[in-house]
Structure 1
Amino acid sequence: MKNFALIGASGYIAPRHMKAIMETGNTLAAAYDPYDGVGIMDSYFPESSFFVEFERFDRHIEKLKRQQKAVDIVSICSPNYLHDSHIRFGLRSGMDVICEKPIVLNPWNIDALEQIQRETGNTIYSVLQLRLHNSIKELKQKIENGPKDKIYDIDLTYLTSRGKWYYTSWKGDITKSGGIATNIGVHFFDMLIWIFGELKSQTVNVHTHDRACGVMDLERARVRWFLSINDQCLPEAAVKAGKRTYRSIIIEGEELEFSEGFTDLHTATYQDILNGGGFNITDTRAAIEVVHQIRHAETVGLNGEYHPLAKLPLVEHPFQVL
């Protein structure tokens, strides 16, 4: 049994980590979040210590170490811009780290963390759960066994509706979340790079507060992609079905079916790490470089090739109409 700590216990993704810790037969010794609405912990680890001040959480982690009850792994579910600092804390406190995506916002943060990882002897793992999805693994095997010189034509569409609260939260601040591509798209870009090879070039057609789209050339694929948090971008069929999320990957005109099988991927991630596998921080570099480029790219508009949804009318930022 491993002793875990959790940073970011009140966030959307935190319950999946609590569930994964429990289902892999481990325990949560301590959790931290500035917000105290963490009643969900009763469903998993009601005996866990909880802190709303980082200093007290830090002191408790140190106390457990001195009592021979040291925390083995810290799971990080904090806002994106805090990942780097919280990973450093975990490593320097003698813990391995499991961090949600995006692991950091900038490629040079990876360089520094790799150095601290070497100095401490502890390991940073990233949650790249799409790599463990059965349909994705089957696709990777199919591409590896297919024609080596073929360049696949791909359309990636991911829409996940968010309300006006999004823009008030840290997620709506590009300096804290990294923007749309980083916040909701990085795991899809990681998956595509994992299967179709490294990025050769890319253009960004549109990048606003509620959407981003562009075209990227990978070693073995040309990808037109569209990401949005605006429910006005949802396809009519999704709206009629009452859905607020839509994901689609079309490869050579054929839809990749991967709508199911998401609920247990965090548990699978934890089990993989505990079994000696896992994806380390070096595995994250290619996707972090891609989203960093997108964030700083000059948009080209509807010129050349672009995703069909790029033509949807743009809308004003909610703050401009309140």
Structure 2
Amino acid sequence: MQYSPFLSGLMGVCVGDALGVPVEFNSRSDCQEKPITTMVGYGTYHQPAGTWSDDSSLTFCLAESLCNGYNLHEIAKAFCKWIYEGYWTPYGNAFDIGGTTYRAISRLREGVEPIAAGGTDIRDNGNGSLMRILPLAYGYKSLEFPELIKRVHDCSRLTHGHPRSQMACGIYISIAVGLLQGMDIKTAYIEGLKAVEAIYTKPPFKSELPEFKRVWTGEIESLPENAIASDGYVVHTLEASLWCLLKTSSYAEAVLTAVNLGSDTDTTGAVTGGLAGIYYGFEQIPSEWVKAIARREDIIDLANRLAKATENS
């Protein structure tokens, strides 16, 4: 059976997220001493195996909204429903909510315009928009590339408005587009950087380029593991996800490498898993991991609806 890249990406995010949930905040040394090798439960949040966090919830909220077309106000409504009504959560309630994301969604609830809701302070560069941005990549066939990246930036701004966060999302989506076009991982990485170069060598992004210098070399995988951070800073999450993807040769190896870096395990797993899912395909995600995922059939249905909506746009 041929599975769609929509399901591969969405489930790729979710499985990577769920693998990391039980060990979030564990140190790298703890993860190396007792590594995650399969889907387990409980741990940090005392949740059953297959439970996904805010990373997947917000990814699914975005995907659900895109089923009815691109509308920032509708995306904002979905994010508010997630926090306040348990929308697109595994078991009816939101948990593991980042502070920057919570504050931004509170502003959305108060009626602040979506592109003005996300924090713009230098300290607002957590990974909360990068972790959920993948569904926008599927619009690459129907949009001119600059318009696609503008949508990525604007969607980031719902929760993370600083140019650095927008850039991280844009680089990630540009690489995802290359994978969707059939490129191998290394080629998608290099071509993805080339595709956004004209955008990011101009204000307001040009001054942020030094923050991405290790990504921009096109050789992030050459760094040793001890040079790769896996905390909640958006640039570190982008670096770690690309490093894991480029250093491994299967979906399982990529996401387990990501999770076992420790610290922000669910998000590093989710961000890595989205790209790995697209590249390796749904059928290469271990079936026993997929079977454990909460609301698995709902996610499959969402992927099918997003595929239909995207193909008809």
TM-score (norm 1): 0.29
Structure with the greater relative contact order (CA < 8 A, sep ≥ 6): 1 or 2?
Answer: 2
Whichever structure has more strand as a proportion of its residues is: 1
TM-score (norm 2): 0.29
